[in-house]
Amino acid sequence: MSDKVTLYKEKMEKTLANLESEYATIRAGRANPHVLDRITVDYYGVATPLNQVGNITIPEPRLLQIQPWDGGLIKAIEKAINQSDIGINPNNDGKVIRLIFPELTEERRVSLTKDVKKKGEEAKVAIRNIRRDALDVFKKKEKSHEITEDELADIADEIQKMTDEHIAAIDKKAETKSKDILSV
């Protein structure tokens, strides 16, 4: 791979990593601590990620347990979870908060797979935009005679191969996540 296209490969890799983190927050009927990644708690006036104010464990397949390091945070954590979009009501016993993940209905599973496909399509669009930007940059360089026409053709082939690889990876991740959601 030429040094000229390394920057665009890195951008495509970041898009793929972003998609993976998006997929990690979609719950599939099993307890997954990543659904809490976007939740922040008011910790002495500072918005702090939930995973930095307590210990998150999975004692059972459909149960997440949050044990705050500061007992006074129970109410703040409960409030943050209630205000989030995860759709699970927290249960607290004064020491720990439990999140019980209900079984997903068939309708909800289908809805989540549509969401997975939509996020995959958005990632593909981002990859294609990176390809377009890269080609525009190299076409301008060819017009200003910084690179030759042959170099432009080689770079365009290389960028297209990268694009195809990343789109195939997105399709595979979307398919895997969809199967994960649809499996009961």
**Per-residue pLDDT tens for 46-67?**
888 888 888 888 888 778 888 8
Q: Are residues 133 and 170 in the same domain?
A: yes
Cβ atoms of 168 and 14 closer than 8 Å: no
Query: Beta strands of 20-173 (E only): which ranges?
Result: 40-43, 46-49, 54-60, 63-68, 90-92, 97-100
For 112-168, the pLDDT digits (tens) are 889 899 999 999 999 999 999 999 999 999 999 898 889 999 999 999 999 999 999
Supply the range of the domain harboring residue 125.
3-24+105-182
The rounded distance, in Å, linking the Cα atoms of 108 and 103 is 10
The rounded distance, in Å, linking the Cα atoms of 65 and 69 is 13
Q: What is the pLDDT of residue 157?
A: 93
C-alpha dihedral, 67 to 69 to 70 to 75, nearest 10° = -30
Given 67, 100, 133, the domain boundary residue is 100
Given 59, 77, 100, the domain boundary residue is 100
10 Å Cβ neighbour count for 47? 10
Q: Are residues 39 and 96 in the same domain?
A: yes
SS3 91: strand
Q: What is the pLDDT of residue 27?
A: 65
Q: Please name which of 2, 8, 3, 4 lies closest in space to residue 163, comparing C-alpha atoms.
A: 8
Q: Are residues 111 and 94 in the same domain?
A: no
Statement: residue 98 has pLDDT above 70: yes
Band of the pLDDT at 89, cuts 50, 70, 90?
A: confident
Residue-averaged pLDDT of the chain: 86
Q: Are residues 56 and 71 in the same domain?
A: yes
Report DSSP state, residue 52.
G
The tally of domains found in the chain comes to 2
Band of the pLDDT at 79, cuts 50, 70, 90?
A: confident
Band of the pLDDT at 70, cuts 50, 70, 90?
A: confident
Statement: residue 1 has pLDDT above 60: no
Statement: residue 29 has pLDDT above 70: no
The rounded distance, in Å, linking the Cα atoms of 12 and 10 is 5
Cβ atoms of 100 and 63 closer than 8 Å: yes
